[in-house]
Structure 1
Amino acid sequence: MDVTVIWAAIIALGLFMYIVLDGFDLGVGMIFPFFPDEAERDMMMHSIAPVWDGNETWLVLGGAALFAAFPLVYSTVLSALYLPIVFMLVCLIFRGVSFEIRGKANRTKNLWNLAFICGSAGAAFFQGVILGAYLHGIPVKDGAFAGDPFFWVTPFSFFTGMGLMVTYALQGATYLVMKMDGDIQARLHDLVWPLTLTLLGFMIAVSIWTPLTDAQVASRWFESAFRYRLYPVPLLVALAAALMYRAVKRNLDVAPFVFCNVLVLLGYIGLLISIWPYAIPNSVTLWDAASPHTSQVFALVGAVVIIPVIVVYTTAGYWVFRGKVAPGSQYH
């Protein structure tokens, strides 16, 4: 088997797990403004407090794997997107600090609520900006970034930034539907379908915008030999949206979160198909960016050990803290 493709799959898995797991806890922060009652906010914070920091392990895994398997991509992407990455990290810092201080603050509690909201929204937005800039292509010359430090400031990048904010907000709302009960759950259900429609709008817009501005993406979706295998993707998106509508109307607990992440998965598959086989779209292929074969094999041994460990402790954490959050719960 091609070790380069295996590493690409590991990185793709790590990023998807990050989007699913850290996406919903960032989303909780973004729907905070819809729930001004502090007791309800305490419950929302408590629902993610035991797991939020462990969720970010997958982002660390993806970054470490990128450094080990595709050092050219690591150096180029970090150089090109240094500013939005720093902005994202600053937002994550404020958000992380708000977890520790908000539960103990009295006079400054509103300030830390604001830090949690803005940190969550900012991190989601800049992650989307990074995605949009990456999809549109990074200028590369002689194996190094060759563009302007503000090349990422484009309408498409800002659009994908807002799209990822909506995605995370929907994940947060559906996760809280699972964890809450009673009146707060009913109001969360009221948010799910409007957010789903908004996400579908962003997915359709990106699906149209990308092939119109990138001939290679258009060729892959509409002219390649395997294009007929891609056509079920939009149909599956429509089916997942219909099942989401049904789940919301029936006030189901778990199903909305499942169908939300099915939509995320289908959108993610579409993005992977659009950039294949490039490590940097339209510039550097996976094999051109790969580290030496022996280095990839050596690092793969470590990945075979580490990934199951991450899966086990992540699963254990969610199992221990399963079930509904009781009223009056607070994060200490």
Structure 2
Amino acid sequence: MTADLIGVVLLLAVTAYTCAGGTDYGAGFWDLTAGGTERGRRPRWLIDHAMAPVWEVNNVWLIFVLVIMWTGFPVLFQTVFSALWLPLALAVVGMVLRGAGFAFRKPSRRLAGRRLYGAVFAIASVVTPFFLGAAVGGVASGRVTPGTDASADAWANPTSLVFGLVALATTAFLGAVFLTGDARRFDAPDLVGHFRRRALGSLAVLTVLAVVTGFVTHEDSPYVWHGLTHGLGLFFAVVAGAAAVATAWLLLRRPGAWMRVTAVAVVGSAVLAWGMAQRPYLLPTSLTVADAAGAPATLTWLAIVTLVALVFVVPAVVLLYWLDTHGELEELTDSELRGGEGPAGDGTAPGS
């Protein structure tokens, strides 16, 4: 029972990282495709302002995933990171380069430096979700089993390829939807239209890829395909489809806060559908939740620590997102810093 509970927590953590981290990766995708210096100036300005307050906190969910894997399901952790070390290593390198590129781009005073760091940030934002998706595809295909040696076949197969493309389209979709809302918040009507068109386009691509995924998994991952067409897997797949229709409808009208909710519902439901499709396996069809679980005492303490962490972390993250969406985290401009204005703009230097 405890193992099943921890398995659910692991799936929810993966879902949270897919939605929160995916939004940031999507912003990087649109940064890459924004165009040249002049054409891409406005979209990149919005991306910088939208991401700056919250982009680092999204990795909290990735840390949850890793801790739960190696503590609660050590066999799963060992198997996945042994068989899929190459795509996962490339994804980690992408995360590091992406963070460095974003952090150094804005303060860089030289145009060449900003272009270099911006390119690193944007390219890494595409590479990372693709390889993470390919690794997930390797698991879903059933090619990763206990004792599997690392090989290209474990992650360079039809299911991995289509999962990698789905991950990339998913991040682009989430990023465009959230940037549409941010453009409205920053009163930039030209960017509202810019990112709304991209949100609709990426949703169309994601829909096509979802259909392709059905055909590919039917041939290459029959267990997962069966799970996606029956029971809870089918239920969450239908919810994802309904949320996609709702998101498209909201995007075609005046964009509002609800489109973010429905967009997250699309992605979150799709991840839950995949998780339910694999039941009771963590690695279809070779490793069940019960077989992969650690010692009962370890699982009990992991459940307690997870509960305590969620009590402290979730309210803090929710507060951070609320402050960000209500414009409470705007950074001081150069003129305000040089002029010594206080937070209230009364001319009082900070700390006086």
TM-score, scaled to structure 2: 0.85
Q: Structure 2 residue aligned with 1:206, among 195, 206, 213?
A: 213
Range with greater deviation from structure 2 (307-316 or 76-85):
307-316
Higher RCO structure (Cα 8 Å, ≥6 apart) = 1
Inter-partner Cα distance in structure 2 for 1:228 and 1:87? 35
Higher Rg of the two aligned structures: 2
Q: Distance in 2 between matches of 1:300 and 1:237?
A: 29
Q: Is the 8 A contact 1:217 1:275 kept in 2?
A: yes
- Deviation string 1:268-301 (CA, Å, 9 cap, x unpaired) is 1221122110111111111011101111112222
Evaluate the alpha carbon distance shift between residue 303 and residue 221 of structure 1 in structure 2; reply closer, same or farther with a 3 A threshold.
closer
**Residue of structure 2 in register with 1:57 after alignment:** 60
Gaps of 5+ in 2: 338-352
What residue is the counterpart of 1:188 in the other structure? 195
Q: Which moved more, 1:104-113 or 1:282-291?
A: 104-113
CA contact (8 A) 2:133 2:166 kept: yes
SS at match of 1:52: coil
Residue type of the partner of 1:301? Answer: I
- Residues 282, 289 of structure 2: 8 Å contact kept: yes
Structure 1 stretches of 4+ with a deviation exceeding 6 A read: none
Q: Post-superposition shift, 1:102?
A: 0.4
Secondary structure of the residue aligned to 2:302 is helix
Aligned counterparts of 1:274 and 1:230: Cα–Cα separation in 2: 5
Structure 1 equivalent of residue 158 of structure 2: 155
Q: By how many angstroms is 1:166 displaced? A: 0.6
Whether 1:307 and 2:306 are equivalent positions in the alignment is no
The answer to whether 1:87 aligns with 2:80 is no
Q: Where does residue 166 of structure 1 map in the other structure?
A: 169
Separation in structure 2 between the aligned mates of residue 18 and residue 313 of structure 1, nearest angstrom: 16
- Determine the structure 1 residue equivalent to 2:271: 268
Distance 1:230 1:63, change over 3 A: closer
Instruction: State the alpha-carbon separation in 1 of the partners of residues 308 and 320 from structure 2.
Output: 19
1:216 aligns with 2:230: no
**Deviation at residue 206 of structure 1 after TM alignment:** 1.3
Write the distance in 1 (CA, Å) between the matches of 2:232 and 2:90: 39
Cα deviation, residue 231, structure 1: 4.8
Indicate conservation of the 8 Å contact 1:80/1:149, yes or no.
no
Alignment match, 1:288: 291
1:125 aligns with 2:130: yes
Provide the rounded CA distance (Å) in 2 between the counterparts of 1:81 and 1:207: 23
Q: Percent identity?
A: 21
- Residues 1:14 and 2:13 are matched in the alignment: yes
Other-structure match for 2:116: 111
Structure 1 residue 234, shift from structure 2 partner: 4.8
Q: The residue matched to 1:79 in structure 2 has which SS? A: helix
* Deviation string, structure 1 residues 52-106 (Cα, Å, up to 9, x no partner): 1110010011110111110000111001111111100111111101122101222
Deviations along 1:12-49, one digit per CA (max 9) or x if unpaired, are 11111101111101100001123543243122112111
Give the Å deviation of 1:240: 2.1
Partner Cα separation in structure 2 for residue 329 and residue 27 of structure 1 = 26
Q: What is the aligned partner in structure 2 of residue 78 from structure 1?
A: 81
Task: Give the alignment's TM-score, normalised by structure 1.
Answer: 0.90
Partner SS for 2:275:
helix
What secondary structure is seen at the aligned counterpart in 2 of 1:279? strand
Opposite residue 256 of structure 2, the aligned amino acid is D
What CA distance in whole angstroms lies between the structure 2 residues aligned with 1:329 and 1:175? 23
Gap regions ≥5 residues in structure 1: none
1:191 Cα offset (Å): 1.1
Task: Give distance in 2, aligned partners of 1:258 and 1:97.
Answer: 30
CA contact 2:140–2:159 (8 Å) conserved in 1: no
Query: CA offsets, 1:242-288, max 9 Å, x none?
Result: 22222111121223222221111221122112211011111111101
Instruction: Summarize the Cα distance change of 1:309–1:183 in structure 2 as closer, same or farther, 3 Å threshold.
Output: same
Would the aligned equivalents of 2:102 and 2:118 in 1 still touch at CA under 8 Å?
Answer: no
Amino acid across the alignment from 2:11: A
